[in-house]
Structure 1
Amino acid sequence: MTQPNYTTEHREALREQILKVATREFTTIGVKSVKMDDIARKLKISKRTLYEIYDNKEQLLLESVARRIHEFDATLERFDSSGEKQVIDILLEFYRLQMEELRDMNPVYYEDLHKYPRVMSFLEQVNKEHKAHSKDFFKRGVLEGYFRNDFNYELISLLGNNVMQNVMESKLYNTYSLQDIFRNVVMLFIRGLCTAKGILELDRQLESRA
């Protein structure tokens, strides 16, 4: 069977379509359950055409994960740069975006990521960058008077990571939704970090959004 001769423009458009469909499938039913054949069939293209653009499933997954993180970070960065924002504003926007992302997310997706070494290596690097940024953000919150200055940020960060690791290992998501887990864990940590001024502003904004 003769394969279509894609121009660069068409090839890039198809690449975007593949990425969009694959990301939706990965996050809603889990990576393991998605076959390259399934993606090709949904897009009505041959498997050969799919493999001409993505060498294998891990490459596709890696680009999907990288795109999702980039878009999330870029959205938050635009929010921060759009005006005079304070740390509470940014925290609640982060919270909103994360809750939106978790709405249709299958917990199995996170479990499946650990089966792909290149993806995990990428995520480890991203986590290092996020950790450095978060530490600067914490210092900013202290200067603004919204965060307490008597906390050990490194310890708090480790505790937060351990809590989420325990959530996944104990499969708490079988009893509670990811949104419920995230809401309770994050709000507990945020309120614990806040000064009296920070709690007042946090509650004010939460009430206004209710």
Structure 2
Amino acid sequence: MTQRVNIIKHVSQMILSLGVKSVRMDDVAGELGMSKRTLYEMFGDKEELLYESLAYLIDERCRDLSQKTKDCENMFEVLLISVHETCGNGFSSEMERRLTHNLKKFYPAVYDRIRCRHSQKGVENLKYALDKCNEDGLLDPNADIELMAQMFLLTVGNFLTDSNITLPENVSREEAFAVMAINFLRGMASVKGLQVIDQTLARQSHSKCRVQKESSEN
């Protein structure tokens, strides 16, 4: 691991535990046993360090998800497991909404860069997955894949980060997100695709019930 990557990993954990506003270059240099001058020579300023550390966190989440979906038989299954993992990990947790709020308020340039990067990679990844679904006959041949991918991610992005959205009583953001995502996939699916969706959801439900049963017995 290079020194640069080690610094980025360290700062990414500081961001998660302290928040972006509390990350100080003096503290980073002190904790890593290096001079502040060297830190500035490597990254230029705090905003660049924050950007690269946040980008690392996003990429790390993607790598973890890729590992969990490596044995999937088709891309619909990958997408549905992605939805399941997102909801299970509390993607729209209060901590992440606060992080987004503070980043936008105190470091708007970093916020814009991260949002742009995340949106671009999100569209690319979702379009790739949907193209694979289309090749496997899982999508309606008339579906506009690129447009649907862009619209879905735009809607989801606003939904997960907007704290002013009011949901029905006893409905979490994760539950609402799952419904949105599954309905999005159903709306684009062919008859074969709908069967794959139903089979995957049934397996997830069975697995969830089994885990809950084992947990109650222990």
TM-score by length of 1: 0.67
79, 92, 95: which is aligned to 2:83? Answer: 95
127, 130, 138: which is aligned to 1:138? Answer: 130
Aligned equivalents of 1:207 and 1:26: distance in 2?
34
What corresponds to 1:61 in structure 2? 50
Cα deviation per residue 1:151-176 (whole Å; 9 max; x = unaligned)?
A: 44414631541343144234449x98
Secondary structure of the corresponding residue to residue 200 of structure 2: helix
Percent identity between the two aligned chains: 22
What corresponds to 1:109 in structure 2? 99
Tell me if structure 2 keeps the 8 A contact 1:113–1:119.
Answer: yes
Q: Which runs of 5+ in 2 are unaligned?
A: 209-218
Give the Å deviation of 1:201: 2.0
What corresponds to 2:161 in structure 1? 168
Q: Relative to structure 1, is the Cα distance of residues 142 and 16 closer, same or farther in structure 2, using a 3 angstrom cutoff?
A: closer
200, 203, 210: which is aligned to 1:202? Answer: 200
Give the Å deviation of 1:60: 0.9
Cα RMSD (Å): 3.8
Amino acid at match of 1:19: I
Aligned equivalents of 2:136 and 2:17: distance in 1?
39
151, 156, 163: which is aligned to 1:158? Answer: 151
Secondary structure of the corresponding residue to residue 47 of structure 2: helix
Alignment of 1:4-15 (within 5 A): 12-13=2-3, 15=4
Give the Å deviation of 1:17: 3.8
Cα deviation per residue 1:166-209 (whole Å; 9 max; x = unaligned)?
A: 44234449x98664554444344334444431332222331243
TM-score by length of 2: 0.65
Q: Relative to structure 1, is the Cα distance of residues 75 and 177 closer, same or farther in structure 2, using a 3 angstrom cutoff?
A: same
166, 181, 184: which is aligned to 1:186? Answer: 181
